[in-house]
């Protein structure tokens, strides 16, 4: 007890040391004034002759001990403030500690009389006296690699860092390793210099200033290989991307130079198939493109994937996390996926201006320890240029470091000088070992500069003269490190020059292989044929009554010891009725459960996440049951004996941008999984708009990257106000072209069943596309929307629904979707009128023109087509369908709009007003 108390004292109390010292003063005056635990601690310190030798005891010696202990805590906590982590242009740091011994009330002579173990038990084998140990710690914590870990809550993690920094922190590489490092740096810088010289003014977003990122990533691959870790997922913005593609993913110089020359880079792709590079028919700028490389350089086969990324700087981070999670999971295991975090590592390269400024970063860091999103630790690297475009640090953030927001998530931070490449490699070693040990995120703040302007056309002296005055005088890294090796005798000056020259020669030789006349510039864009083919709606003969009944019984059969909340149990037991009574109906949640179960039997894995997705915002799903007495959970869909694939369901954090990005990445990496994200309300998806715009809608056209991500967005006007009424379907429709997604607003639970199955059927095929479903709210339990069992058996998805019993009597066709269609159907059922025909537009895009035309052609006396919607005229689907109906209708037929007038707000704020307007719409729709 006493020994443990003494050994843990300096680490245990950390930033609480000030309070402990107050207790210590009280202890000196009166031992009984402090707790028994404090007495044991202080007695053990003062009484242990083996651990402490301060000569005579007394208040002076006690004060000295306090000063030494405080110095130790401060150097570990604040040493980074005086560390040599800035290659140039160091900031002024107010109130930084000096770490002078006198300021803490002790001298070198005091340290000479103290045992090393008092300073650190880790250093007893390294030093003979405390003075040498303290000087060593001062050097370690103020070096070009510095540390922030004392803010972390877990004492064991802090002790791990202390040991790994203080015992294993020496920077020591062999001469061969140093030569290899120099060659990597020469290639990295030489590549940029060659592009600058031969493609003047071409944008490339140079890596210069943080060149050591490239050897850092290659060093990581070696560390991964030593740990049998095969997959590296990288996400980064545009700065340095071309260099990473070339020197980490080994994209040949000929391919990269071809892109600058607008010739065909595919002619130079490695014949061994080790490099995969997809592109869409529209293409993208070279510094947004990714790639996939299979590597066999370090003893095992490894795959490096650099994710495609738009100009939304940080948004790719959670995409990469989702991709890593997909690689880590075995989804063919029954019931629950089996995750192995040693299958894939996520590395996210951030910009210093964007890291603290873009909200997607804290959203993504929040995933670190969440069961549904953890990847066993990601490595975050801030390529710290000390500037964002023209904005310097003091205008970009309120904190000292770009990395400071990570502290709020208990994430350790390593600051390292980018011009000290050996320290950079050491930083990566420490980061990787931490990730492997603790399965948590870590941040490396790679502090450098930006040699050029924001792009190579910018002149930064016009806006940032003081910074760039220093940069212009600062030697480049190949010269800095090359000269260091020359001075150490590792290489000669001639070998340094030859190495640098060899890089230019290699680039020139590759350049000479390219025929500049072999241009791919053309005004013609060839859209692939597969994008023109619709998804087929085939009758599902394998969906039988017996199969559905067996599934239903299994889903309602709970373990004998599990007790279901009584009221919920009564609700769920109603799901027996459709199989016992032909008048019984299958509601929305029931239809979904049956669809999921049949897909699991078919071997289709399912992952569904979202805001309150386990229960469903409107308590319609209840996929996870809770024992009200024990809190035990039971998920019927995870316990199907007939399942051939996994089912995964998680409540997401209350985030949209990072969560949707994550699910997108997951599905891109493993598009055999039916991946679903559900919003609490449809309009919450607003916060994820960049994912819809720059990834989901356009990824195939830009990058040849396909996804089958499904979005469930609760949508309908129900008097709940502007922010809980609209899924903003018009925004998705505006993004639609080239059959790039499916947009639906259903009115039938059986159609929902069949649509989910159709979506799954097309996964991992050319016809795979995202599905955006404006899912219901009040229709979840609506009797009209709930359908009989017969519509599920041997059925198929219907893009439109209608009843056309007396076509010759029809004069007015009403077209509507979702809840509006149900209200029209129910009114027509109460007040039958054969002069009206209701077409329920279930699939809005791809627009079912042929289906609707076939119906219209059967109506010889049709006079008018009315499009009816709940949304204001300037929102919803109206403006999307308008030109299509104008083209379809006959010259003697009119097309009119029925709905709310144009409005800047999606809905009324008062339920009473909503009811009046909704009733007016219904009356207007049936007006003759």
Contacts of 509 (CB under 8 A, 6+ apart): none
Q: List the one residue out of 342, 332, 292, 362 whose CA is nearest residue 669.
A: 292
With respect to residue 454, please indicate whether it lies within any of the assigned structural domains. yes
Inside any domain, residue 196: no
Closest CA to 729 of 701, 692, 759: 692
Strand order from edge to edge, sheet including 442-447: 145-148, 413-417, 442-447, 378-384, 344-351, 231-236, 302-306, 291-295, 275-276
pLDDT, residue 15, reads 44
* Among candidate residues 640, 635, 556, 634, the one with its CA nearest the CA of residue 603: 640
Q: What is the pLDDT of residue 653?
A: 95
Mean pLDDT over 468-475 rounds to 95
Residue 9, pLDDT > 50, answer: no
Categorize the per-residue pLDDT at 778 as very low, low, confident or very high, splitting at 50, 70 and 90: very high
The residues, ordered by sequence, that sit 6+ positions from 39 with a Cβ below 8 Å of its Cβ are: 27, 31
The pLDDT tens digits for 821-842 are: 999 999 999 999 999 999 999 9
9 or 699, which is more confident: 699
Q: Is 896 helix (H, G, I), strand (E, B) or coil?
A: strand
Q: Above 80 in pLDDT, residue 17?
A: no
Q: Average pLDDT in the 242-250 region?
A: 97
pLDDT at residue 93 tops 60: yes
In a shared domain, residues 20 and 109: no
Residue whose pair of structure tokens reads 């990597």 in the numeric block: 184
Same domain, 573 and 450: no
User: How many degrees, rounded to 5, is the angle at CA 483 between CA 477 and CA 443?
Assistant: 35
**What is the structure's pLDDT at 63?**
81
- The string of pLDDT tens digits covering residues 128-181 is 889 999 999 999 999 999 999 999 999 999 999 999 999 887 899 999 999 999
Residues 211 and 360 grouped into a single domain:
yes
| pLDDT bracket for residue 38 (50, 70, 90) | confident
Q: Which pTM value belongs to this model?
A: 0.93
Same domain, 12 and 107: no
Domain assignment present for residue 458? The answer is yes
Please determine, for residue 592, whether its predicted confidence score (pLDDT) is greater than 80: yes
- Asked whether residue 515 is assigned to any structural domain, the reply reads no
661 within 8 A of 319, measured Cβ to Cβ: yes
Q: What is the pLDDT of residue 18?
A: 56
CB 322 within 8 A of CB 299: no
The answer to the question of residue 207 being in a domain is: yes
Q: What pLDDT was estimated at residue 55? A: 34
For residue 161, give the 3-state DSSP assignment: helix
Residue 523 lies in a domain: no
Q: Is the pLDDT of residue 588 over 90?
A: yes
pLDDT on residue 37: 64
CB 865 within 8 A of CB 886: no
**Average pLDDT, rounded, for the chain:** 92
Of 447, 462, 477, which residue constitutes the final position of a domain? 462
**Residue 618 confidence (pLDDT):** 93
Structural domain ending residue among the three candidates 431, 446, 462: 462
Let me know whether 571 and 430 are in one domain. no
Structure confidence at residue 517 as a pLDDT band (50, 70, 90): confident
pLDDT by residue (tens digit) across 782-801? 999 999 999 999 999 999 99
For residue 643, what pLDDT is reported?
96
Residue 48: is its pLDDT beyond 60? no
Query: How far apart are alpha carbons 727 and 158 in whole angstroms?
Result: 46
- pLDDT of the residue at 47: 60
Percent of the chain whose pLDDT exceeds 90: 84
Instruction: Tokens for 175, please give them.
Output: 């001469």
**Length reported for the chain:** 928
The answer to whether position 512 is within a domain reads: no
Residue 806's domain spans which residues? 800-926
Number of Cβ atoms within 10 Å of the Cβ of 558: 16
Q: How many CA atoms lie within 13 A of 31 on its CB side?
A: 8
Q: pLDDT class for 21, splitting at 50, 70, 90?
A: low
Tens-place pLDDT, residues 655-703: 999 999 999 999 999 999 999 999 999 899 999 999 999 999 999 999 9
Of all helices (H) and strands (E), which one includes residue 738?
none
Whether residues 98 and 223 share a domain: the answer is no
pLDDT > 80? residue 76? yes
* pLDDT over threshold 80, residue 470: yes
262, 264, 230, 265: which is closest to 246 by C-alpha?
A: 265
Per the CB < 8 A criterion, the answer to whether 684 and 342 are in contact is no
What per-residue confidence (pLDDT) applies to 3?
37
Sorting pLDDT into bands at 50, 70 and 90, what band is 117? confident
Sign of CA dihedral 852, 854, 858, 862: positive
What pLDDT is stored for residue 436 in this prediction?
98
pLDDT tens per residue, range 340-381: 999 999 999 999 999 999 999 999 999 999 999 999 999 999
Beta strands 633-634 and 625-626, pairing class: antiparallel
Contact assessment for residue 592 and residue 621, using Cβ atoms and an 8 Å cutoff: yes
- For 422, residues 6+ apart whose C-beta sits below 8 A from its C-beta are 171, 173, 178, 181
Residues 457 and 364 grouped into a single domain? yes
Q: What dihedral angle (degrees, nearest 10) is formed by the CA atoms of 157, 161, 162, 166?
A: 160
User: What pLDDT, on a 0 to 100 scale, did the predictor assign at position 16?
Assistant: 55
The predicted pLDDT at position 64 comes to 86
Statement to judge: residues 136 and 208 lie in one domain: no
- Answer yes or no: is 12 within a domain: yes
Residues 786 and 805 in one domain: no
Q: Please, which pLDDT band fits residue 875 given cuts at 50, 70 and 90?
A: very high
Contacts of 795 (CB under 8 A, 6+ apart): 539, 540, 543, 750, 753, 754
Q: What is the pLDDT of residues 400-437, one digit of tens each?
A: 999 999 999 999 999 999 999 999 999 999 999 999 99
How many structural domains are present in the chain? 5
pLDDT in tens, 189-241: 999 999 999 999 899 999 999 999 999 999 999 999 999 999 999 999 999 99
Instruction: Please answer whether residues 455 and 461 qualify as being in contact, where contact means their C-beta atoms are separated by less than 8 angstroms.
Output: no
110 and 66 fall within a common domain = yes
């Amino acid at each position: 007890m006493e020994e443990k108390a003494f050994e843990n004292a300096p680490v245990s109390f950390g930033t609480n040391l000030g309070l402990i010292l107050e207790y210590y003063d009280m202890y000196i005056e009166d031992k009984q004034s402090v707790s028994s635990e404090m007495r044991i601690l202080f007695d053990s310190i003062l009484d242990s002759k083996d651990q402490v030798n301060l000569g005579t005891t007394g208040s002076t010696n006690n004060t000295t001990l306090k000063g030494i202990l405080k110095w130790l805590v401060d150097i570990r906590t604040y040493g980074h403030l005086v560390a040599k982590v800035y290659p140039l242009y160091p900031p002024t740091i107010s109130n930084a500690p000096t770490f002078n011994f006198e300021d803490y009330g002790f001298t070198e002579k005091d340290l000479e009389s103290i045992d090393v173990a008092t300073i650190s038990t880790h250093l007893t084998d390294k030093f003979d006296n405390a003075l040498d140990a303290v000087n060593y710690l001062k050097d370690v914590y103020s070096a070009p690699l510095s540390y922030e870990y004392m803010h972390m809550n877990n004492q064991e993690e802090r002790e791990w860092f202390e040991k790994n920094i203080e015992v294993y922190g020496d920077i020591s590489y062999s001469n061969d390793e140093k030569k290899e490092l120099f060659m990597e740096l020469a290639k990295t810088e030489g590549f940029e210099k060659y592009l600058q010289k031969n493609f003047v003014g071409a944008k490339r977003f140079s890596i210069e200033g943080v060149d050591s990122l490239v050897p850092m990533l290659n060093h990581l691959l070696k560390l991964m290989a030593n740990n049998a870790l095969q997959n590296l997922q990288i996400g980064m913005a545009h700065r340095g991307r071309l260099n990473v593609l070339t020197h980490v993913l080994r994209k040949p110089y000929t391919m990269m130079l071809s892109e600058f020359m607008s010739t065909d880079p595919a002619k130079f792709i490695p014949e061994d198939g080790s490099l995969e590079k997809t592109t869409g028919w529209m293409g993208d700028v070279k510094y947004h493109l990714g790639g996939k490389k299979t590597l066999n350089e370090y003893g095992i086969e490894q795959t490096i994937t650099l994710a495609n990324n738009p100009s939304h700087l940080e948004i790719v981070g959670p995409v990469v996390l989702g991709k890593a999670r997909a690689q880590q999971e075995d989804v063919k295991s029954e019931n629950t996926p089996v995750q192995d975090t040693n299958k894939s590592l996520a590395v996210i390269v951030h910009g210093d201006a964007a890291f603290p400024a873009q909200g997607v970063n804290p959203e993504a860091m929040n995933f670190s320890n969440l069961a549904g999103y953890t990847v066993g630790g990601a490595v975050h690297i801030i390529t710290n240029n000390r500037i964002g475009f023209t904005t310097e640090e003091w205008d970009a953030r309120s904190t000292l470091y770009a990395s400071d927001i990570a502290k709020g998530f208990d994430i350790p931070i390593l600051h390292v000088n980018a011009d000290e490449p050996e320290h950079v490699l050491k930083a990566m070693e420490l980061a990787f070992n931490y990730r492997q040990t603790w399965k948590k995120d870590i941040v490396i703040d790679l502090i450098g500069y930006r040699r050029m302007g924001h792009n190579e056309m910018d002149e930064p002296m016009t806006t940032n003269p003081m910074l760039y005055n220093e940069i212009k005088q600062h030697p480049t890294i190949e010269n800095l490190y090359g000269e260091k090796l020359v001075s150490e005798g590792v290489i000669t000056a001639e070998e340094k020059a030859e190495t640098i020259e060899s890089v230019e020669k290699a680039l020139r030789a590759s350049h000479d292989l390219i025929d500049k006349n072999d241009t791919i510039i053309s005004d013609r864009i060839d859209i692939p044929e597969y994008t023109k083919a619709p998804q087929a709606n085939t009758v599902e003969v394998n969906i039988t009554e017996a199969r559905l009944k067996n599934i239903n019984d299994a889903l309602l059969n709970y373990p004998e010891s599990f007790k279901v909340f009584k009221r919920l149990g009564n609700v769920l037991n109603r799901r027996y009725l459709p199989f016992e009574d032909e008048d019984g109906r299958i509601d929305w949640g029931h239809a979904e459960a049956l669809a999921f179960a049949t897909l699991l039997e078919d071997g289709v894995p399912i992952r569904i996440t979202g805001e309150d997705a386990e229960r469903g915002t409107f308590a319609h799903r209840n996929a996870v049951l809770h024992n009200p007495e024990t809190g035990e959970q039971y998920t019927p869909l995870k316990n199907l004996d007939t399942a051939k694939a996994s089912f995964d369901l998680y409540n997401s954090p209350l985030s949209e941008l990072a969560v949707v990005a994550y699910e997108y990445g997951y599905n891109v990496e493993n598009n055999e999984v039916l991946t679903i994200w559900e919003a609490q309300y449809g309009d919450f998806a607003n916060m994820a708009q960049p994912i819809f715009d720059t990834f989901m809608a356009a990824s195939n056209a830009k990058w040849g990257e396909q996804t089958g991500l499904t979005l469930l967005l609760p949508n309908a006007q129900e008097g709940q106000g502007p922010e809980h009424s609209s899924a903003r379907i018009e925004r998705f429709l505006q993004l639609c072209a080239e059959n790039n997604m499916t947009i639906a607003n259903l009115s039938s639970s059986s159609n929902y069943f069949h649509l989910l199955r159709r979506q799954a059927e097309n996964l991992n095929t050319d016809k795979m596309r995202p599905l955006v479903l404006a899912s219901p709210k009040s229709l979840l339990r609506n009797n009209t929307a709930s359908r009989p069992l017969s519509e599920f058996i041997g059925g198929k998805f219907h893009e439109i629904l209608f009843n056309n019993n007396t076509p010759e009597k029809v004069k007015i066709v009403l077209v509507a979707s979702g809840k509006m269609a149900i209200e029209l159907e129910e009114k027509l059922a109460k007040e039958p009128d054969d002069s009206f025909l209701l077409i329920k537009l279930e699939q809005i895009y791809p627009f079912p023109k042929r289906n609707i035309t076939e119906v219209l052609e059967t109506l010889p006396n049709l006079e008018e087509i009315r499009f009816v919607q709940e949304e204001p005229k300037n929102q919803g689907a109206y403006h999307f369908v308008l030109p299509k109906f104008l083209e379809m209708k006959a010259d003697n037929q009119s097309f009119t709009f029925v709905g709310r007038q144009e409005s800047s707000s999606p809905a009324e704020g008062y339920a009473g007003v909503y009811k009046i307007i909704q009733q007016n719409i219904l009356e207007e729709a049936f007006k003759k």
